[in-house]
Amino acid sequence: MKKYWKLLNKLIINIFFCCVLVLQPAFSETKDIWQQSKSIVPSENKNLEIQTKIELPPTTLNQKSKTELQIPSVNQSTIDKENREIVFGIYDPKTTSIPINFWKSIPAEVFNNFNAEIFKNDYSISTNQLINRIFFSKTNLSDLDDKGLSYLNLISTYLAHSKDSKLIDSVIDQNNLLLNNEKLLDFLINTHFSSYQIDKACKYAVNMGAEIKNFELQKFKIFCLVKNKENKKALANLELMRESGFKDDFFIQKINYLLGMLLARQGEANVETLLNIHLSSLANPDFNPSFAAFKNDINKTKYFFNSPFISKSLIFNNKENNQKDFFTDEDFLLIQFLEEGSNIDSFSLDKLYSLYKKIVFNIDDLLVPIESYSKYHAVKGRALLYQSILLTRDQQQRLKLIELIRGNYNKNKLTNLGNKIYFSFVSAIDKKYLSEEILKEISEYSKNLQKNNSMVAINNKHFHQSDVVFLLFDEKINQKQKKNLENFSSLVDSKKYQASAKDIAAISLLVEQKINLPTALKKIANSEEIYIPNKIYDMLERKENNKATLELILLSQKLKNSKEYVKDFLIIVKILDRLGFSLIKQEFIKSEFFS
């Protein structure tokens, strides 16, 4: 045994000695690998060249071609920096005077705090105008410390709060805005889905951010994926939801059926939610729920009037029932629901009129409609008043009927419908039968309709809405403006015109711009020195214009209920001047005076 161990030890020593001899050259000299690489002759193997190429992932913005990205001389960090640059906004900085890097030094928490503050109360049209121009001016999100997440969250909250679908579409279409705000997504999907614009609703749903955990929104996303025939994605999303605790047997059954799974059944219909109604109709084309399923929910109601269900429900409009002589209580309830559709501008007034005309009355009812209408169902009573308005030639009698039908609509919470019918009829009556109060009401209604088409509607009965205000933007006075100034001055001097706070604010601005005004108007202009609040003044002095702008918006929000309106208005205008926002200032003044 001892002999065996001695032989083994000798063998180990010999092996170690040989290894030292072999490895000694490797430790004896330091090699310059970079120098050696210079003498290497490039291989003709094209496969090797392909393998050494680094293919960078494409970006959604500022994309480079693959050829450009693969040039060895391009620095990797430069490429990354360029690809991360994301510009958000719809207004060119030249039209707003807001630089593209305006928000660069603002910390994320400032936007978060502003987000919490600005939506506490309602704001005026002029504040809305400020927010639109300031926050939708193009800005580089890459400059912000959180890459714009808090800024985009603020924008999303504002869009959801404003409910301006045209503005939302414009912003998202131009900027590919990441849809991570639950309120905004909920508004977008419900707005377009209830309008039966399914494709548009799905466009937003399938791009939903991963942060959205709301099961109802996720369900709609899965439905859209199935609709777009992205079945694998739909099943993957459904499985993730189930792992998170989602349970909805009806939804799962309908999705499986629409996917064409072998063992899936059509299943029963369900009207609890709008999505359930839609899924039920897709699974069963003969599904035709009662109109009652769409009542008491604004989105369901709008969906009904935009979907094929409306034509299915109007059975008495079919050819075989075109001359329906008898209306049941169920028919009247349906017409009452259609009136609600007209009240929200979802059902044509002409179609409603045609239904009123089909309801038959005896001659006695038509002779004394004022005494007879109240004995019938509310819908039938309104139909009687409507038919009587058409038949009556006596203008005074017609006016009584028009006022009566309007009051009946108002009593039944159909105010918008009542106003539309009232003003359409009363405007056709000879003015000599109308009181000053009615004529004034017609004028106001007409003015409000004009505002829907144009924010600026000149009204020379009020100084702040007269054409004189345009001297603030163009100092060249014309004869009409000069005459209006003299008229207002005369009325003020004779105490026949009481200048409002907005009038005084407008006059004060004209005085500041050294517009030549009559003496009576100069006397009522603001004479106090206007000082910018210390907090904002200090920000402006430190060149922190972005922070001052946020404070400006909060200040304008309080203007609506200000007890010192003239002073606060002039302060806002002065701040806008200090910021250099001349075009935004003009729009603010117009929206404040003409709204």
Structural contact between residues 289 and 271, judged by C-beta atoms closer than 8 angstroms: yes
Q: What is the pLDDT of residue 165?
A: 79
87: phi then psi, degrees, rounded to nearest 5: -100, 125
Q: Which of 274, 267, 269 is nearest to 288 (CA)?
A: 269
**For residues 181, 182, 184 and 190, what is the CA-based torsion angle, rounded to 10 degrees?**
150
Q: What is the pLDDT of residue 33?
A: 29
Structural contact between residues 87 and 100, judged by C-beta atoms closer than 8 angstroms: yes
The Cα diameter of the chain in Å comes to 141
3-state secondary structure 319-332: HHHCCCCCCCHHHH
CA distance 357 to 322: 12
Q: What is the pLDDT of residue 585?
A: 94
Structural contact between residues 365 and 372, judged by C-beta atoms closer than 8 angstroms: yes
**Burial, 99: exposed, middle or buried (Cβ in 10 Å; 0-12, 13-18, 19+)?**
middle
Structural contact between residues 273 and 257, judged by C-beta atoms closer than 8 angstroms: no
3-state secondary structure 556-592: HHHHHHCCCHHHHHHHHHHHHHHHCCHHHHHHHHHHH
CA distance 141 to 175: 12
Q: What is the pLDDT of residue 444?
A: 81
Q: What is the pLDDT of residue 184?
A: 84
The pLDDT profile of the chain, 595 residues, written as one tens digit per residue, is 444 445 545 555 555 454 444 444 433 333 332 333 333 333 333 333 333 333 333 323 333 333 333 323 333 333 344 445 678 888 899 889 999 999 988 899 999 999 888 887 777 888 888 999 999 999 988 888 888 888 988 888 888 888 887 888 778 766 655 567 788 888 889 999 999 999 999 988 988 877 788 999 999 999 999 999 999 999 999 999 999 999 999 999 999 999 988 777 888 999 999 999 999 999 999 999 999 999 989 999 999 999 999 988 775 554 444 555 568 888 999 999 999 999 999 999 999 999 999 999 999 999 999 999 999 999 999 999 999 999 999 999 999 999 999 999 999 999 999 999 999 999 889 888 899 899 888 888 876 776 554 455 788 889 999 999 999 988 788 888 889 999 999 999 999 999 999 999 999 999 998 888 999 999 999 999 999 999 999 999 999 999 999 999 999 998 988 999 999 999 999 999 999 999 999 999 999 998 7
> 292 by DSSP, 3-state: which?
helix
CA distance 468 to 493: 18
- Residue carrying structure tokens 């028919």: 331
Instruction: Report residue 280 as tokens.
Output: 């039920």
Q: What is the pLDDT of residue 19?
A: 47
For the chain, what are the domain ranges?
A: 2-29, 111-131+147-283, 314-453, 463-523
CA distance 542 to 208: 41
> 297 by DSSP, 3-state: which?
coil
H helix intervals, 164-288: 165-175, 182-194, 198-205, 215-227, 231-243, 249-258, 274-283
Side-chain-side CA neighbours of residue 168 (13 Å): 25
Q: What is the pLDDT of residue 62?
A: 34
Q: Which residues contact 499 (CB under 8 A, 6 or more apart)?
A: 463, 492, 507, 524
CA distance 551 to 548: 5
DSSP 375-406: GS-HHHHHHHHHHHHHH---HHHHHHHHHHHH
Q: What is the pLDDT of residue 588?
A: 93
Pairing of strands 139-140, 87-88: antiparallel
CA distance 50 to 86: 31
